[in-house]
Amino acid sequence: MRFAKFARCALVAMLGLVLIGMTLGAASAEEPYKAQIDALRKGMEKYKDYKVAVRDLYLSTVGCVHYAGEKIAGYMEYPKGAMGVHFVNLTIRGAPDPMKPNVLIYEPVGKKLELVAVEWLVPLTAETKERPSLFGQPFMGPMEGHEPLIPKEYVHYDLHAWLFKSNPLGVFAPTNPKVKCEGYDFSLLEKPTKMMHGP
C-alpha cells in the first residue's frame, strides 16, 4: 500500500518535471531573440489603432480567417483556431525585414479591432534560393494562396508572430485557438492550402 502511494507520487513528480522541461524548452527556443522580438512589439504598438495602419498603407482584407483543424494529405496543417483579419501592405517587398512585417492581424472584439499578431508573407519567385527564416524560425510553405482572399496562384511562404495575444500553440504558430471570429459579419472558415515544392 505504502509502495503504491510512493509510486503514484513519483509518477506525478516525473510528469511535472517533463511538463516543466517542455515549457523551458519552448521558452529557450525564443530566448536568443527576446530583445529583437521585444523591439518588434514596441515598433508595432502604434498599429493597435487600425486607422494608423491604414494610413501607413496596411489595407484590410475584411474576412476574419479561421480553421476547423482538418488534416488533408498534401495540404498545409492549420490547428483549430483563427488567424483573424489581415491588413496587407503591398508596398513592402524584398527579403523579409524582421522589424517590418508586411501583414498586421486583428481580432474583431465587439465593434473594435484589436491587434493580435503580425505576419511576413514572401512570394515564391525564380529568385527564391532558399526557405526564408526569421528569429530562428523557418517560414511555412511554399503554399498556394489562401482563396478566396488570395488567389491560389500566389504561391508563397509565411510566418506569424503572436505579439499581442498569448498563443498556447506558440508565438510562431499559424493559428491561435484564443482568437475568435464568431459573431463577426465577415467570418471566413478557410480550407487548408495546398503545399507546393520550393527550393
Per-residue pLDDT of 25-77, as tens digits, reads 344 445 789 999 999 999 999 999 999 999 999 999 999 999 999 999 999 99
What mean pLDDT is reported for the chain?
Answer: 87
Domain annotation covers residue 101: yes
In this predicted structure, what is the pLDDT of residue 30? 59
Domain annotation covers residue 2: no
Domain annotation covers residue 177: yes
Predicted structure pTM score: 0.84
> Number of folded domains in the chain?
1
Mean pLDDT within 164-192: 96
* Cα distance between residue 87 and residue 100, in whole Å: 13
Domain annotation covers residue 10: no
Q: Provide the grid cell at 127.
A: 529568385
Distances in whole angstroms, Cα of residue 198 to Cα of each of 1, 35, 46, 84, 128: 60, 31, 35, 27, 8
Domain annotation covers residue 1: no
Domain annotation covers residue 18: no
Q: Provide the grid cell at 153.
A: 496562384
Domain annotation covers residue 132: yes
Q: Beta partners for 104?
A: 87, 118
Domain annotation covers residue 98: yes
In this predicted structure, what is the pLDDT of residue 86? 98
Residue 171's domain comprises: 32-189
Mean pLDDT within 160-168: 98
